[in-house]
Chain A
Amino acid sequence: AQTIHQWPVAEIKAVGSPLSLGCTIKGKSSPNLYWYWQATGGTLQQLFYSITVGQVESVVQLNLSASRPKDDQFILSTEKLLLSHSGFYLCAWRGQENSDYTFGSGTRLLVI
């Protein structure tokens, strides 16, 4: 069975500090990977997607970056956090073209 693991569960970070959020998918080769984000009071929106190792496409510009260093790993990061980065981050994967999204448990980020 496929599993998706996100880390950390929650973070409190200072403005200007770096950030790295991770996501690992086990049991599925070559998944399509996605990062979604929900600001407080806002809607979930797709930030990045990746269909293969080393290839990441940005959907929304938020001064964040994403990387896919391995087939089963997706990393979201920034060197300098902004207050506006606070919110809930979800990683997701899809298999073949018509398969459903499977989401991780999410990371709650508070920037102060």
Chain B
Amino acid sequence: GDSVTQTEGPVTVSESESLIINCTYSATSIAYPNLFWYVRYPGEGLQLLLKVITAGQKGSSRGFEATYNKETTSFHLQKASVQESDSAVYYCALGLITGNTGKLIFGLGTTLQVQP
């Protein structure tokens, strides 16, 4: 079936350190799914961080980047130097977008805690 597996949290890093949150997916109902990273800051709703719809491409936003790797079915989230304000829950998601009735398949979410 369609599923997403991501790094189990919480992940704790110090400010200015690098970060990688792993995400791998299985897509059986669609050959080329759209891939997303969403973020939920404390007390806020879910926000789109970045997305990539073409295999081999890289998406980036707010210093974060992720590359759509179809060979390894991965979409790892990376940042070279994290800030305390990056503390949040990060969700990798697979987009099964079939017209109006598409849906997102989410991973469990990874809580990131950045220590000052």
Closest to B99 in A: A97
Interface string of A88-111 (1 = CB under 8 A from B): 001010100110111111100000
Stretch binding the partner chain, chosen from A12-20, A40-48, A61-69, A76-84: A40-48
A106 touches B108 (CB 8 A): no
* B interface residue count range (under 10 / 10 to 19 / 20 to 34 / 35 or more): 20 to 34
* A interface residue count range (under 10 / 10 to 19 / 20 to 34 / 35 or more): 20 to 34
B36 to chain A, nearest CB (A): 8
A51 touches B108 (CB 8 A): no
Taking the complex as formed, is B104 at the interface, i.e. its CB lies under 8 A from any CB of chain A?
Answer: yes
Q: Cα distance A6–B103 when bound, in Å? A: 20
Tell me the residues in window 71-116 of chain B with beta carbons closer than 8 Å to chain A beta carbons: 91, 97, 99-104, 106-109
B residues less than 8 Å from A105 (CB atoms): 44-45
Taking the complex as formed, is A11 at the interface, i.e. its CB lies under 8 A from any CB of chain B?
Answer: no
Q: Cα distance A6–B45 when bound, in Å? A: 10
Residues of chain B touching chain A, judged by Cβ–Cβ distance below 8 Å, are 4, 38, 44-48, 51, 91, 97, 99-104, 106-109
Query: Could you list 23 A-B pairs, sorted by A, with CB under 8 Å?
Result: A6-B45, A36-B104, A42-B108, A43-B4, A43-B106, A43-B108, A43-B109, A44-B91, A44-B104, A46-B103, A46-B104, A49-B100, A49-B101, A90-B45, A90-B46, A94-B102, A98-B97, A101-B48, A102-B48, A103-B38, A103-B45, A103-B46, A104-B45
